[in-house]
Structure formats: C-alpha cells, structure tokens
Amino acid sequence: MPTWKIAAVQMDCRLGAVEDNLAAVRARLAGAADGGARLVVFPECVLTGYGFASRAETERAAQPIPGPATDAVAADCAKRNVWAAFGLLERAGDRLYNACALVGPTGQLITYRKVHLPCLGADRFTDPGDRPFTVHDLGGLRVGVGICFDSSFPETARILALHGADLVVLPTNWATQAIKQATLVTRVRALENHIYYAAVNRVGDETGFHFVGHSSVSDVNGDFLAIAEHDREAVLYAEIDPDVARVKKVVHCAGEYEIDRLNWRRPEMYAPLVAPQVEPFTGHNR
C-alpha cells in the first residue's frame, strides 16, 4: 500500500480573530500541499483561539459545522487534492463543542468533538463530546482523531487502534505545564498501540498561558519521525506507511521474543475500566 506524506502545522493564532486565523490556516494549507502533503493537520482551536473567560465569549467565536470555515477549507482541499484537519469551536443549537473538522478533497466533512475536558480555557464552557471514537478511511490511510486532553486517557488511542487506525491525529493546545504530554506521552501512545501518532500543538501566548510547541509525528516504535522546536512556528513532514501499522505482532526473535499489544489483550480482566462512574462527568461549572 502506498505511503502517505503528512504535514503538521505548528502555528500561533489570535483569540477570537476567526477571519484572520482562517486566512492563516488557508495559506499554510496551500504551502503544505505544495510541499507534497496529502493530509495537513493544524492545532486545537486554531480557528478561534482557546483562552476564553466565559461561555458567552466562547459562543461568539464558534461556528456551525458545516459552516463558513469548513466550506472555505473544503474549497482549498478540492483545489489542492488534499485532506485537512483543524480545530475550532462548534455551535450546534444550544450546545457548544471543542471540535476538529476533517475535510476532504471531494467534499467529505467529518467532525470529532472533544470527549475529555480539562478545567482550562474554552473547555470550562464547552459540552463533553457526544460521539463515539471513529476511524475514517481517507483512501488507503485509516485515521482516528483526538483532541489534546484526550491523549491523557490511553483508552482513546486504544479504541481507535482497535477500530483499525493507522494514524491518530491530535490537535492540541499544550502550555508549559503539559511539556511531558508533548515530549513523552505521544510516543507512548504510538508504541503501546503500534500506530503512528501526530500531535500538533500551537505556539505563542494567550491570556496568561505560554504554548510550548514541540509538535511531533511518532512511528509505531515510539520514535519521533519529526519534532518541532519550542516556541517557533514550523511545518513538519513525515511519511506514514499503513502496512507497517497494520502488522501488530512484533517479532524480535521468532518463538522466543514476540510482542502483540493489541491481539494479546485480556478484556475479560478489564471490567473496572468500563464500570459506570458514581457521578458521570457532565462538564465544568459555567
């Protein structure tokens, strides 16, 4: 199966400046496509910014999906024959979500809504994601989506791997306190599921938070294929080989040292993982 060249766009954005942010995303999408990327991934909330102080402010920056932003990016994807994944705040009736839109070259539009919400920034005011973790075939590359804090829950990547993901993309807004998420946890998620993992962070400062960059693409062995510097905008490129991700058994020495972290699970032992919580999470105080 052919490999896929992907691009991870590490960039800054301006809080609430949706039109300016959209213009910047479109320009970088064009540049990454010219660089040969078939899938271009942007940070969490890159369209809107993240550090809002109230639900009203958060709602003002939100858009429906489909909406003006996804329509504009879809037109660019059609022109460039490329896929794009970018973060934004989604307004759906009286609900508000931290979302990622995955847009394809023939008008495909897929939305993921962030499931795990930290008490931070816009996530203090958004509603918990209400859709199951799903894998999408882009035409030979099977992609799962998470957002930022989702990576702190290993169940997220594991479910996507069990659904057949070759690659998990994770738009994120990691600030200084989350440096180990950027430099350590992403590689672990790749290794423990034998998948590729692309974590795309932002840079810059916003409402008292400094975003650390260190976007990366990890391979199935938990090694960085590419990693961006701290504090600088950058575009990372990496080659993803779906065939490598799909062979889950790792044979170091036949019959003596073999590893399969997916197919040798013991789900009958994992009941506490899916036991209902006494108080189900419904979001933070608004």
Structurally, the chain folds into a number of domains equal to 1
Strand partners, 139: none
Does the residue 121 lie in any domain?
A: yes
The domain in which residue 229 lies consists of 4-274
Nearest residue to 14 (alpha-carbon basis) of 54, 59, 61, 84: 61
Of 67, 166, 51, 155, the residue nearest 111 (C-alpha): 67
As a whole number of angstroms, the distance between CA 175 and CA 193 comes to 26
pLDDT at residue 285, rounded to an integer:
73
Q: Which residue among 44, 77, 90, 100 is the active-site one?
A: 44
Assess if residue 282 is contained within a domain. no
The pTM (predicted TM-score) of the whole model is 0.97
Structure tokens at 84: 């794009």
CATH number at residue 65: 3.60.110.10
Q: What is the pLDDT of residue 265?
A: 96
Mean pLDDT of the 77-101 span: 98
Whether residue 124 lies inside any domain: the answer is yes
The CA distance from 75 to 176, in Å, is 35
100: region left, alpha or beta (phi > 0 left; psi from -120 to 50 alpha): beta
Catalytic entry in 13, 45, 77, 148: 148
Each residue's pLDDT tens digit, 138-183: 999 999 999 999 999 999 999 999 999 999 999 999 999 999 999 9
- pLDDT tens string 10-47: 999 999 999 999 999 999 999 999 999 999 999 999 99
Has 114 been annotated as catalytic? yes
Is 279 inside any structural domain?
no
Half-sphere exposure of 94 (CA within 13 A, CB side): 0
Catalytic residue among 13, 77, 100, 114: 114
Average pLDDT score, the chain: 97
